Structure 1
Amino acid sequence: MRIALCALLLTGLLVFPGVLPNSPGHLGSLAETALPWFGLGVPLLLVWAAVRRSVKEVTCVLVPAVAWVALFWPGIVDFGGRDLGRADFRVLTVNVGGDRTAPRDVARRVRATDADVVALEKVPGPAMHAYEKELGGRYPHHAVGDTLGLWSRYPLRGVEKLDLGGAWPHAVRAVARTPVGDTAVYAVRLPSVRVGLGKGFTVQERDASAARLARRVADDGTPRVVLLGDLNGSLRDRGLAPLARELRSAHRQAGEGLGFTWPAAFPLVRLDHVLVRGLDATGSTVLPDLGSDHRPVVTGLRAAR
């Protein structure tokens, strides 16, 4: 009976994580961020049921197993529909990790991806000029704001630094003249979150900035939109729901695997995203560790059909 009850609760958590209260400490958001890892409860319950030699309890455990597979297996299995080469253009997002990386090394790896539009986040102020120098030959058009930078093979216009609250601009927007037409590109780094005793999951600033950004995106009249950057959260996190309602995840459409990007040495969650409107993803890949605490993401895009 206890195994069946645990299996029922696990299934409910996987399928309806939104029913978890977000107080105290925004624990609901934390559970949604770590949701794929709750699948580890399945083998634990299976072992428990096997020890008890109960066929009925093993059968009960298959219910959360099926729920996990339905939610996450489609992203793990490649059915042959993902191909960066079929894209009209490629985009790349890289949180360079502040002083963790050298501009020359990052620029070399950026150029190797053959991306057409690149968003860099968490660029130290003293290093920005070095990035401009290293990337300028491949990307003649760029726009920067505080720790954010956009580099593009295509002309940029309408550059804006967006005030999303907090101590610095958390987004830079520009319109790129891509092969499929004008495309609004956002380079984003939302406020950081932490988990601490007494404070819980500190997402208040991030959630407020995400809501402001979602309103700006909703009002953006450009026919195509690409948002690139570090959102400091999973799109399953209810705090990022306003953005998820406005834009689609390129990874969910054409990604490989679970797409975890942080921490780079052994990724456990996906914090770095490519979100789109008016475009389809042909493929989206998390790249190897480049020395930052985040892994880069490269995505192929084409006009929506």
Structure 2
Amino acid sequence: MILTAKFRIVSWNLLHTIGAGAAQVCELIAQTQPDLMLMQEVGEAMEALPSRLGGRYARIALPGRHHGLAAWSPHNFTALEGGLDLQPGLIVRRVCQLLECKGFNVANVHLSHGQWLNRRQLRRIAAQMPERAAILGDCNMVGAPFLPGFIDVGARIATHRMSGVVSLRLDRCFLRGLECLQATVLPRGVSDHHPLLVDLR
């Protein structure tokens, strides 16, 4: 199926087990009505999401960690089992969640903090993506992505406040072969990241 109508994606770093839980995610989904909800720093408790909302849910944990990446949608999608292994950081090994839905592919990411490393991880992901693709999530990236072929369409305002003081635009959306109709940042609630909402066509 080729994407011709508006397709809404919301991406949110939940802040492990001390941030947003299933109740807050369900509330955000009810408010925004996304076609795809992407989450980072997701624990096992979020497995309850399908029983509350129905739909399709898939989660992968970061290697050696209790949290990871997850996606929910009221529509069917295909998730690559185990995701895509990325270049490891000094402490945390990283993976990317790859999804196929509505005729294009989506990468759900939580990249390393190193500013050279996260750009290398981003290029590795881009190399695995088809012509129509979206890469969204917590990129931990400051400044230009240096990602040929993709356009940075995320809202140009801060999505995270480091140590409660320094505001940074860490949550991004990169597109190839798709049109961005809208990109905005939503109230962060109990997380330390604001959700990112994008409407695509």
1:246/1:235 Cα in 2 relative to 1: closer, same or farther (>3 Å)? farther
Q: 1:295 aligns with which of 184, 189, 194?
A: 194
What amino acid is aligned across from residue 14 of structure 2 in structure 1? V
Q: 2:136 aligns with which of 228, 239, 258?
A: 228
TM-score by length of structure 1 reads: 0.55
The equivalent of 2:171 in structure 1 is: 272
Q: 2:57 aligns with which of 130, 138, 142?
A: 142
Q: 1:261 aligns with which of 148, 153, 159?
A: 159
Q: How much is the aligned-residue C-alpha RMSD, in angstroms?
A: 2.4
Higher Cα radius of gyration: 1
Following superposition, the deviation at residue 148 of structure 1 comes to 0.3
What amino acid is aligned across from residue 107 of structure 1 in structure 2? C
Is residue 11 of structure 2 the alignment partner of residue 93 of structure 1? yes
Following superposition, the deviation at residue 122 of structure 1 comes to 0.6
TM alignment of 1:239-254, pairs within 5 A: 240-241=145-146, 244-251=147-154
Following superposition, the deviation at residue 291 of structure 1 comes to 0.9
1:296/1:208 Cα in 2 relative to 1: closer, same or farther (>3 Å)? same
Distance 1:90 1:175 in 2: 15
TM alignment of 1:23-34, pairs within 5 A: none
TM alignment of 1:128-167, pairs within 5 A: 128-134=46-52, 136-137=53-54, 140-146=55-61, 147-157=68-78, 159-160=80-81, 161-166=83-88, 167=92
Unaligned runs of 5+ in 1: 1-86, 194-202
Distance 2:48 2:94 in 1: 21
Contact 1:145 1:169 in 2 (8 A): no
The equivalent of 2:64 in structure 1 is: none
Distance 2:191 2:109 in 1: 17
Match of 1:111, SS state, is: helix
Following superposition, the deviation at residue 266 of structure 1 comes to 6.9
Contact 1:261 1:267 in 2 (8 A): no
Contact 1:116 1:152 in 2 (8 A): yes
Distance 2:161 2:38 in 1: 19
The equivalent of 1:34 in structure 2 is: none
What amino acid is aligned across from residue 212 of structure 1 in structure 2? Q
Contact 1:164 1:209 in 2 (8 A): no
Q: Name whichever of 286-295 and 208-217 sits farther off.
A: 208-217
Distance 1:210 1:152 in 2: 28
The equivalent of 1:3 in structure 2 is: none
Match of 1:133, SS state, is: helix
Contact 1:284 1:297 in 2 (8 A): yes
Contact 1:289 1:295 in 2 (8 A): yes
Following superposition, the deviation at residue 211 of structure 1 comes to 1.2
Contact 1:93 1:274 in 2 (8 A): no
Following superposition, the deviation at residue 284 of structure 1 comes to 0.6
TM alignment of 1:40-55, pairs within 5 A: none
Contact 1:218 1:246 in 2 (8 A): no
Structure 1: which 4+ aligned runs deviate by more than 4 Å?
264-267
The equivalent of 2:22 in structure 1 is: 103
Contact 2:94 2:111 in 1 (8 A): no
More strand by share: 2
Match of 1:245, SS state, is: coil
What amino acid is aligned across from residue 278 of structure 1 in structure 2? G
Number of residue pairs the alignment of both structures matches: 186
